[in-house]
Amino acid sequence: MTSTSVQSTALTPYGWDDAWADAFTPHAAKGLLPGRVVRVDRGQCDVVTADGVVRADTAFVTPHDPLRVVCTGDWVAVEPGGHPRYVRAYLPRRTAFVRSTSSKRSEGQILAANVDHAVIAVSLAVELDLGRVERFLALAWESGAQPVVVLTKADLVPDPVTLAHLVQDVETSAPGVPVLTVSALYGEGLDILVSLVGSGTTVLLGQSGAGKSTLANALVGDDVMDVRAARDVDGKGRHTTTTRNLLALPSGGVLIDTPGLRGVGLFDAETGVGQVFAEIEELAADCRFHDCAHETEPGCAVRSAVEDGALPVRRLESYRKLKRENQWIVAKTDARLRAEIKKDWKRRGAEGKAAMEAKRGRRP
């Protein structure tokens, strides 16, 4: 058996395919080994190769751009030996899950690469935060992955009618996205989820206390993740997962578990926001003005839908919020766009002032 076929056989469970093999050809000519990053911490990473898991330094591929650092899910070219061993390059990513950092510089932070499905875990132990679900969905759609919402701890909602209403609320906030109810504790609903994520790579996302580690253990079929009870008062838990870990699933597919995310900032996710609020974008096409902000403009089809009860006002408010946030993040790195936003704000402010004066019977 050739070294290429050995690599293919050993790495296939981690997502290796002919396309990755073709992309790796230039690195193979240099005697480098292919592998997939299963964990990153402090400038080093664990890489699964045909020879097993090796520890490698990422110093040679750590640029100033935080979006180009090696991350969990990357396919990389590793030195065949040496102490320390180094990652020399990573292959172009098919998809990338990125959020905005909490720093004042608002840089992007890449959480996972080459992901096919993004499972958003939402606990039913606490009141649903639909706005946060929409935020996760926007990032998932923007990444290029197919999002799936999993309502965990379904055993805590024994009334089927109540559970059905909760599912419907989430489905309204997640058009085109599968919404599943799961009780990992009792193994309920897992068969459908396993079928969905049985091929490709899945990243598991959610807040601390959402039951991600319990869900990961159920999918892997072993207690690979530490699990701690969430606080009863707010359903929050500690970060039982502190790094992003990539695991091969026994039923097929690959899982990347992530730490609980308290901050989920958008980062250049205009397409993702539009996908989450597809019905609003569709309505907006019938507005009188192509740049309608859906606030005070006449002939606004979106506001008409709200007034008719066809569009929940909460959806419109969430849409506006995420659009503004994303626009602001993008503008921080685009001076021309910043100037346009300020000009637009001034124009809208003047229009609002004129409308108020006209309403009071004054001359604008």
15 sits in the region (left: phi over 0; alpha: psi -120 to 50; else beta) called left
Q: For residue 174, which of 126, 222, 120 has the smallest C-alpha distance?
A: 120
Is 301:284 a contact under the CB 8 Å cutoff? yes
pTM for the model:
0.81
- At residue 136, the pLDDT reads 92
Q: For residue 74, which of 217, 179, 201, 197 has the smallest C-alpha distance?
A: 201
Angle formed at CA 15 by CA 9 and CA 18, multiple of 5 degrees: 70
Rounded (10°) CA dihedral 290, 271, 276, 207: -140
- At residue 260, the pLDDT reads 60
Q: For residue 140, which of 119, 168, 110, 124 has the smallest C-alpha distance?
A: 119
Q: How many CB atoms are located within 10 Å of the residue 181 CB?
A: 22
Distance, CA of 154 to chain centre: 22
DSSP designation for 317 = H
- At residue 239, the pLDDT reads 41
Whole-angstrom distance, CA of residue 17 vs CA of residue 19: 5
Is 108:268 a contact under the CB 8 Å cutoff? yes
- At residue 232, the pLDDT reads 42
Burial 245-258 (b: 16+ CB within 10 A, else e): bbbbbeeebbbbbb
Pairing of strands 33-41, 44-49: antiparallel
DSSP designation for 149 = E
Whole-angstrom distance, CA of residue 120 vs CA of residue 131: 13
**Whole-Å CA distances, 279 to 119, 131, 142, 285, 343:** 22, 16, 17, 10, 28
pLDDT means per 10 residues, the chain with 364 residues, are 62 94 95 95 91 91 81 95 89 90 65 94 93 93 94 94 96 94 88 89 87 86 54 44 77 85 74 93 92 88 94 94 84 57 56 57 50
- At residue 339, the pLDDT reads 57
